[in-house]
Amino acid sequence: MGHPHSSPGKGNANSQNMRGLTTSDAGSDPPNVVLSHDYGDFSSWRANCCKAFVISREVDDWKGMLAKLGDPFVVVTDRKDHWQGLEHDITNKLASGLTYSVSASVTISAPGNDVLATLKLENNGSSPNYMQIGRVSATMEEWRTLEGTFTLTTLPERVVFYLEGPPPGVDLFIKSVVISCLSRSMPRVMHAPFNKAGDENIIVNPTFTDGLNNWSGRGCTIVLRDSTADPNVVPQSGNVYAAATGRTQTWNGIQQDISARVHRKLAYEATAIVRVYGNNVASATVRATLWVQMPDKREQYVGISSVQATDKNWVQLQGKFLINGSPAAVVIYLEGPPAGTDILLNSFIVKHAEKVRPTPRPVIDDTIYGVNVVQNGELIDGTNPWFPLGNCTLSVNAGSPHILPSMARDSLGVHEPLSGRHILVTNRTQNWMGPAQMITDQLKLFVTYQVSAWVKIGPGASTPSPQNVNVALGVDGDWVNGGQVETSHDRWHELGGSFRIEKQPSKVMVYIQGPGAGVDLMVAGLQIFAVKRQTRFKHLKRQIDNIRKRDVTLKFTDATGAVSLGSSVKVKQTSNGFPIGSCINRTNIDNEDFVAFFVKNFNWSVFGNELKWYWTEAQQGVLNYKDADDMLDLCQKNNIDVRGHCIFWEVEDTVQSWVRALNNQDLMTAVQGRLTSLLTRYKGKFMHYDVNNEMLHGSFYQDRLGKDIRANMFKMAHQLDPSAVLFVNDYHVEDGCDTRSMPEKYIEQILDLQEQGAPVGGIGIQGHIDSPVGSIVASALDKLGILGLPIWFTELDVSSTNEYIRADDLEVMLREAFAHPAVEGIMLWGFWELFMSRDYSWLIDAEGDINEAGKRYLELKKEWLTHSHGLVDQQGEFSFRGFHGTYEVEIVTPSKTVFKTFVLDKGESPLVLPINL
C-alpha cells in the first residue's frame, strides 16, 4: 500500500527542536490536541491492521522491555507492512491555516530503520491523500524524538495522525505524542463542528416557516397546509404543516438531505410531530428512516423509530441513530402508512443526542432473600387471602407433593417440607380464571424474584390434555410472565420462572391461569422469593476450575540436559481458548472503534442479518453476498471463527414475499438452490450453520413441503459442506417462560430429526433472557445435556434499564454457561448501542463509552486468564493449573532470559510440556 503524498497543505519534516514551544504572549505550553498522549486512556488510539497495547508498571512486563525502556509505553507488534502502526483521529482538533508542531518519542526492535509521522486526509468521494510530517532514524532500546510541523490550508472531512515506517516484523515502541498549535490566535475557519447536546438542529427549515424549502417528496408530492385546508387539523405549533400526499407506496413520504450536516460516529436524536390523514385510515404506523449511500454506491436503510399515528391528534415520533461509515449522501424521511394516506408533519428536529447519565446501583439493602412473599402459600389458613379471579371456585385439598420443586431447592438449599395442601380451582369458564393474591407491598424494585410451584389439571375435561399453566403478574394492568409449563392430569408438574419490576407500581397481583374453560386447576406450594444470585458463584467457580482448567508441568532442559535450580518462571495467559463471540452487522465494520473492541475482546462472530436468505436474495435471482464477504474478510484477517446464521428461518413472517408466493414445486427448487448457492460459495469458511432457525416456533417450510423437509435440509447441508457443524437454534429454552420451547420439547424435536437421519451436530440456545436465575438456566442445560451434543448460547443478551442490574444479569448467564460441561461456546447478540435487537441491552453506548455491563464482561474475561510465577524445582520443572488457551512463558536463568509460547488444549490428564532452552 503506497502513499501518494499530495495534500491541501504543507509538511515540514526537518529535525528541529519543537518541544516546549510557547507563543510570546503566554507562559504555558499550548494544549495537546492528542487525547491521552501518554496512554493513560488508550481507547482513543487505534492499531492500523496490526496489534497494539500499553505496557506499564500496573501490568506484566512484555519480553523484558519495561526495564529497558521505562514506563509507560505502547507496543505496536504483528506488523505485516511498513505502513501499519498506531493512529489517532484528530479531525475536530484542528483549524485551517494554523501551524502545528509534532513531537513523538519512539524506538524500534531492529536498528537502522526510520519511523515516520503521517497525516491521512480523507474527503467523501475521493481517494485519501497522505502528508508526511516527520521522520527519525530509530535505534534499539533508546528513545529518539521524531519532530516536524504541518499546516492545512483547507480542512478535509477527516484527518488521521499515525506513526509508521519500519519494515514488516519490526516492532514499534511509542512513549508519547504531542501535537500542539504554534499560534494562540483563534482559528479563522473551523472544520464542520460537532453538534453538542443542545446545539443546533441539523434539519433546515424544521417548522416550515420558509415554506417547503429544503424539503422534497420521496416518490410523492408534498404541499404546505394550514388550518384552512381542514378545520379539524390544526398545527400543534406554528401556523402551517407539511403533507406528503399522492402516496402510492408505503415508502413514499417527506424527506430532507442532511449529508452536509451529519457526522459519522455521533449519536443523533430525531423528534418529529406527525399525524395521518385521509383514505379512511384512522390509525397507521409512521416510521422515520435514514437512507445512506456510501462512496462505492452501496446503500443502507437505517430504521430510526416508529409511532402509531392517528387522524385525530398529533403524536411525537422519537428515536436515535448513528452512522458508522463516511457516507456520500444521507437522507432522512418519513414513511409507513398505506398507499393513499397522507403523512402530516408539523416539525422535525435532529440534534446530537444528549449523553445519558449512568444510572447508580439501586439500593436494595433491606431485601430479605429466600423468604416467600406469597401469604399463606402453604394454605394453613384455608384460602385466606386468596381470592378467585373471575367466577370460579376455590377450595383447599390434600394430596400434593411435600418436596420442594428442584429449581427452587437449588436456590433455597435445605428447606422444610411443603404442607401437601393445594388450591383446587373449579367452575372455570375462561382460561384466565384462577386463584389470585395482591402482593404490591411485598416486592422491591430491581430485585430478581424466582417463582416456583407444583401444578396439575383435573381429568375428564372436554379440552384435551396437555394444558398450559402460567403464573402471571398483573402490574398496573400489564401482564408479566412469571413462568409457565405444559401440564397433564396424570401427575404434578414443576413450574419455574422469574421476574423483576423496575418501575414503581401502584398495584401488583399474582394469579395462576392458563387451562381451557372447564378444566380444573390445582396449585400447590407457590413460592415467590427474592434470590441472591451471587450465592451460586462460589459453586460455579469450583465447576469452572474443574472443567475449564488443566494441570500443566513445564519440564525445562538446555544443552547440558538440565536447568539451574532456582531459575525463575513467569507464565502469562494471553487468550482463553473458550469461544466467546459477538454478533456484528455490515455497518459496524465501518466504525474503527467498534472493530477495535470487537477484534480485541471476541474470538468468534456471527452475522446479524447478512447471511439470512431475505438479505442475500431479497428479490428472486438477485444475489447479494457482498456484505457477508466483507464481514467474513474482517473476521478471517483477525483469526476470528464465524457461525453461519442462518440457512433458513421457519417462522413465516421472516420469509421474503417472493418465496411465500411460490408453489410447492418451485419452493422446493428454491430451497435446493439456496442451499447450493450458500454452502458452495462458503464451503469450509463457516464453522457452524443454524440450518432452520426457530423450528419450535414456526413451521412454514414443514407446512408447505412436508415433515421430511427439515431433516432433508440437514442432510443436504452436510453433503454440501461436511466440515460445518449443523445446529438447531431456538429461543426461551432456558428461562421457563414459553411452553412451546420447553427443554423436553426441544429434546423431542432433536431426537425426531436424528431418527430421520439428520446430522444434528449442536444445540443452539439463543439466550434472549430477562431476570435470569442460575438454577433455572442450569436445569435446562442439564436436561439438554443428556443428548451428548455441544450446547452453544447463540444470541445471548440481557436487558435492564439499570446498568448495574444489566451487568449482574450478564454475569449470571456467562458464569452459568462457562460452568456447565455441555456448553462449548457463547455468542453475544451484539454489544454496541443502536445495533442491538433489544432496548437497554448494550455494553457500549453509541459513541463508544463502556458501561457497567461492558466493564463486568471485561472483568470476567480477565478473571478467566491464568497467570503464575515461581522457581524451577529440583527436577527442572514448574507446575500450575490453568485455563485452556494460549500462554507466554518467560524463563530467567543465571545466563539468559528465554521466551516461549504454548497452547493448553482440553484434556483429562495433566499436560507435561518439554521446553528446550
Positions marked catalytic: 694, 795
From the list 672, 692, 666, 685, the residue with the least C-alpha distance to 760 is 692
DSSP 194: -
SS3 string, 396-458, reads: EEECCCCCCCHHHHHHHCCCCCCCCEEEEEECCCCCCCEEEEECHHHCCCCCCEEEEEEEEEC
Instruction: Answer yes or no: are the C-beta atoms of 208 and 183 closer than 8 Å.
Output: no
Element (H, E) at 540: helix 537-547
The amino acid sitting at 357 is R
Name the grid cell of 684: 469450509
How far apart, in Å, do the first and last CA atoms of the chain sit? 39
CA distances from 345 to 223, 241, 286, 310, 619 (A): 11, 6, 11, 12, 32
In the numeric block, the cell 459513541 is attached to 847
DSSP state of 739: G
User: Residue 253 half-sphere exposure, CB side, CA atoms within 13 Å?
Assistant: 25
* Structural element, H or E, at residue 468: strand 467-475
- Exposure of 28 by Cβ count < 10 A (0-12 exposed, 13-18 middle, 19+ buried)? exposed
Buried b (16+ CB within 10 A) or exposed e, 271-284: bbbbbbbeeebeeb
* DSSP type of residue 796: E
Query: Is 528 exposed, middle or buried (CB count within 10 Å of its CB: 0-12, 13-18, 19+)?
Result: buried
**808, amino acid identity:** D
Residue 414: partners with Cβ closer than 8 Å, 6 or more residues away: none
Judge whether 148 and 104 are in contact, CB under 8 Å: no
SS3 category, 329: strand
Q: What is the rounded CA–CA span in Å between residue 180 and residue 158?
A: 18
**Residues with Cβ < 8 Å from 394, sequence gap 6 or more?**
383, 386, 387, 388, 423, 424, 425, 435
Cα–Cα distances (Å) from 404 to 380, 496, 530, 535, 539, in that order, read 17, 12, 16, 19, 21
Contact in structure between 795 and 844 (CB atoms under 8 Å): no
596 phi/psi in degrees, rounded to 5: -60, -45
Please name which of 729, 772, 697 lies closest in space to residue 496, comparing C-alpha atoms. 772
Nearest to 800 by CA among 510, 495, 443, 498: 498
